[in-house]
Every structure is written in structure tokens, then in C-alpha cells.
Copies of this chain bind each other. A is one copy, B any other.
């Protein structure tokens, strides 16, 4: 049930600009986050290149968002239209931006460890049979993707955590999920250092999963599921 206070807040928000966007003109403006990739499993050249790729996606996403403000919506059609091109590439670049941010943040802990009483551990054990089963399935997803991503996410339909393998940035993507663990398996992530040995790269990255960062995401899902249960 929404309360009177909720209604007041909502009305206020619908009149005033949202607090975290006060200085912006367009609907969304992505801002680059600074990442310091500490891992020794990737070369400095690879890490520098990867951050620059991410910056490129930010730039494109902002340009697309800006163009979408004024593109002709009446002329939209599925065969060829400016609107369609922008929307398709908006999703492509937006996924690229956020999946990279989630990835950079979760592969960066030289002293990585997970404890059995963590939410991450217990949730993965619950939904995959055991933590080890999750690991095997996640690695299988990493190996199955054709230049893309493996992702563990909370699925709002099945009401459980699932793994998925995405091609490129926006193909074969579940349409209703909250990501908690993300692995970049585009060839750009590992070819400099591992050539086609994607499995060695993936296992190396998993050894440096930042389970503190991941735990916070699992905690958020826990809060979400409680809120949905109402």
C-alpha cells in the first residue's frame, strides 16, 4: 500500500527534477567511474586498453541519449529508421557501460575469499544445489558465450538466481534481472594475455572475485525480494 507520505514524495518528485540529476539537461548522462584494476593476471597494456574501451561506450551512450531527445518518433519503423538505429544502439552501449562497471568492480580483490555464512554463498548454494555447482555452471556459461558476457543474476520471473551467457552486449539477454556477478568474455578481455585460452583467464579472474562487492549486491537482492513480498 502506498501511504500519504509516499504520495506527497511522489508528487514532489514528479514536479522537481530528481535529486541525483539536478544538473543535467538530458534524460540520462552516464558519467565515467574511475577503476584501478589491481589484478596481476592481466597485463598493464590490457588493463589500460580495457578502460579506454569502456570510456568509448560511455561516450557513445551519451551521444545516443542526446540524439534520442529530438529524433523523429513519428517516422519510426522496423525496416530502417533513425529512431530504431538509436534505440538498438542505446541498449547495446548501455549494456556495455554497466556490465563493464559491474565487471571491473567484481574482479579486483587480490585477497579474494568467500565465507560459508555469507549471503552470496548461501544463495548460490540454494539455487544451484551447491556453491561448487554454481561455479561449474558459471564457467560453462563463460565458455559458451560468443564474444560477450557471463552473468549471475536474480531473475524476477523464476524468483531465483540464474546464470546466463550473453553474445556481444545485447543478444540472448534475459529481460527481467538484477545482475550480481559479471564476467567479460569478449575476446578483448583476454586475448592480449591469454589468446584463445578463455578458461584459464576466467579461472584467474574468479580467483580474484571481490566477494565484498558481490555480497553487497546479494544484500540488495535480499532487500528487493523482501520488498516485493511486501
Interface residues in chain A, defined as those with a beta carbon under 8 Å from any beta carbon in chain B: 2, 6-7, 10-11, 13-14, 18, 20, 27-28, 45-46, 49, 52-53, 56-57, 60, 63-64, 73-74, 76-81, 83-85, 87-89, 91-99, 117, 119, 122-123, 125-128, 136-137, 139-141, 143-147, 149, 151, 153, 155-160, 163-168, 170-179, 186-188, 191-192, 195-196, 219-220, 222-224, 226-228, 230
B178-A179 in contact (CB<8A): no
List 18 extra interface pairs beyond A20-B159, A87-B164, A170-B173, CB under 8 A: A13-B122, A49-B196, A63-B80, A76-B139, A76-B143, A78-B145, A79-B96, A80-B89, A84-B165, A94-B158, A98-B157, A147-B147, A147-B187, A170-B171, A170-B175, A174-B175, A176-B179, A191-B191
Q: Bound complex: CA of A139 vs CA of B77, how far in Å?
A: 10
Interfacial chain B residues near A171, Cβ < 8 Å: 170-173
A80 and B93 in contact, given A166-B175, A178-B156 (Cβ under 8 angstroms): yes
**A6 to B89, alpha carbons, bound, how many Å?**
41
**Chain A contact residues: helix, strand, loop or mixed:** helix
On whether the beta carbons of A92 and B172 are closer than 8 Å, the reply is: yes
A82: shortest Cβ distance to chain B, in Å? 8
User: Distance (Å) between the CB of A189 and the closest chain B CB?
Assistant: 9
A77 touches B165 (CB 8 A): no
A78 to B93, CA, bound (A): 10
Closest to A86 in B: B80
Query: So how many copies of this chain end up in the complex?
Result: 4
Residues on B with beta carbons closer than 8 Å to the beta carbon of A188: 187, 191, 195-196
Nearest Cβ on chain B to A32's Cβ, whole angstroms: 14
A-B contact pairs, 24 of them (CB 8 A): A2-B119, A6-B222, A10-B222, A13-B126, A18-B159, A27-B127, A45-B195, A60-B79, A73-B140, A78-B144, A79-B96, A85-B89, A88-B172, A91-B173, A91-B174, A92-B172, A98-B176, A146-B168, A167-B168, A170-B174, A170-B175, A188-B191, A223-B228, A223-B230
Distance A117 CA – B119 CA, assembled complex (angstroms): 39
The reply to whether B94 and A157 contact each other, CB–CB distance below 8 Å, is: yes
Please give, as numbers and ranges, the residues of chain B lying within 8 Å of A178 by CB-CB distance: 156, 176
